[in-house]
């Protein structure tokens, strides 16, 4: 399903209601393509998908995946390398020649971290001093939490409201031999304990609603550093405005492929 980029975030939120195990996302310039995989009878029906995309829909198609799907699926997941510091790779790839090497099994949930939003968050994380604990909000497959633990943050907690994400994070943390506490929580409805540093690779509207929820917390329970990712470039200013009254002001902003990530600090 291909949709207009400016509407992609809203469409993704609707899609995840229909396909909670996750979707594949490919950036195509002015368009974003989402793919949902499953056996016959397990996939959302086309009318539901069209309704989810609404007026953002450009094209929708279905096809049968061939017998060589396992090899083609592996070709899609390539290592993510950031300088000489970090490699994030699927388990069938050889270790990178970087200081940190992280293995993520994309078969469990949400990919290996190669998406622009994850990469931007990682770039900002690598420039931070590893002091105190770290909380990964919306952990997915656990990439950010695991890298945080490898950088020396402790304790590290990963939160998500998706059971598959929690299972994936726990398994990936064990494979990388790091300590990550995995906690199930819905950020939209629950208050959660936060570390001094928080990495929140979430959708823009959820980041804004979380900021408003933080304003009701005592200052001592708020983080002093927030890396906010998962937002479109045009949403960055609004997110900055929501966090500013909390004393978390913009320190750095990075862009890639229409996405943005912010470093906010007290």
Asked whether residue 81 is domain-assigned, the answer is: no
Residue 233 lies inside a defined structural domain of this protein: yes
Residues 157 and 228 occupy one common structural domain: yes
Backbone angles phi, psi at 170, to 5 degrees: -60, -45
Give dist(CA 139, CA 62) in Å, integer: 30
pTM of the model: 0.76
H helices of 89-231, in order, are 116-126, 143-151, 163-175, 204-214
Does residue 37 lie within any of the structural domains?
A: yes
Owning domain of residue 53: 2-59
Q: Are residues 119 and 246 in the same domain?
A: yes
Establish if 248 belongs to a structural domain.
Answer: yes
For residue 169, give the CATH number of its domain.
Answer: 3.40.50.150
In a domain, 175, yes or no: yes
In a domain, 7, yes or no: yes
Total domains, the chain:
2
Q: Is there a single domain that holds both residue 123 and residue 39? A: no
For the chain, list the strands marked E by DSSP. Answer: 2-4, 24-28, 31-35, 57-59, 80-82, 86-89, 100-103, 134-137, 156-160, 181-184, 197-201, 225-232, 249-256, 259-265
* Omega before 155 within 30 of 0, i.e. cis: yes
For residues 123 and 245, membership in a common domain is answered with: yes
Residue 52 shares a structural domain with residue 120: no
Q: Assess whether 113 and 54 both reside in one domain.
A: no
Q: Are residues 27 and 120 in the same domain?
A: no
pLDDT in tens, the chain (266 residues): 999 998 988 898 888 888 876 788 888 888 999 988 877 777 888 898 999 999 999 999 888 776 665 556 666 677 889 999 999 998 888 888 899 999 998 764 566 667 788 999 999 999 999 999 999 999 988 999 999 999 999 999 999 988 888 998 999 999 999 999 999 988 878 888 899 999 999 888 889 999 999 998 888 889 999 999 988 899 999 999 999 999 999 999 999 888 999 999 98
My answer on whether 28 and 145 are in the same domain is no
Residue 99: per-residue pLDDT: 94
| Same domain membership, residue 128 and residue 255 | yes
Q: Evaluate whether residue 99 is within a structural domain.
A: no
Residues 47 and 157 in one domain: no
Q: Could you identify the residue written with the tokens 């609603």?
A: 209
Q: Is residue 25 part of a domain?
A: yes
Q: Residue for token digits 């299972």?
A: 167
167 and 48 within one domain: no
User: Residues 119, 229: one domain?
Assistant: yes
């Amino acid at each position: 399903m291909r949709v207009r980029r400016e509407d992609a975030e809203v469409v993704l939120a609707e899609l995840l209601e229909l396909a909670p195990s996750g979707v594949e996302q490919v950036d195509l310039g002015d368009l974003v393509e989402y793919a949902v995989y499953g056996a016959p009878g397990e996939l959302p029906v086309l009318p539901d998908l069209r309704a989810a995309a609404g007026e953002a829909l450009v094209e929708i198609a279905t096809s049968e995946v061939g017998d060589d799907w396992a090899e083609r699926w592996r070709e899609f997941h390539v290592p993510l390398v950031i300088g000489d510091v970090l490699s994030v790779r699927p388990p069938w790839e050889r270790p990178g020649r970087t200081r940190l090497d992280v293995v993520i099994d994309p078969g469990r949930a949400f990919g290996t971290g190669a998406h622009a939003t994850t990469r931007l968050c990682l770039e900002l994380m690598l420039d931070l001093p590893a002091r105190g604990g770290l909380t990964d909000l919306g952990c997915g497959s656990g990439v950010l939490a695991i890298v945080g633990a490898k950088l020396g943050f402790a304790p590290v907690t990963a939160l998500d409201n998706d059971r598959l994400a929690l299972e994936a994070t726990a398994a990936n943390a064990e494979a990388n031999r790091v300590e990550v506490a995995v906690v199930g929580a819905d950020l939209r409805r629950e208050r959660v304990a936060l570390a001094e540093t928080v990495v929140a690779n979430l959708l823009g509207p959820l980041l804004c609603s979380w900021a408003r929820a933080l304003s009701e917390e005592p200052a001592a329970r708020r983080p002093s550093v927030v890396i906010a990712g998962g937002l479109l470039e045009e949403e960055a200013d609004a997110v900055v405005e929501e966090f500013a009254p909390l004393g978390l002001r913009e320190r750095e902003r990075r862009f890639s492929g229409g996405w943005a990530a912010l470093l906010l600090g007290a």
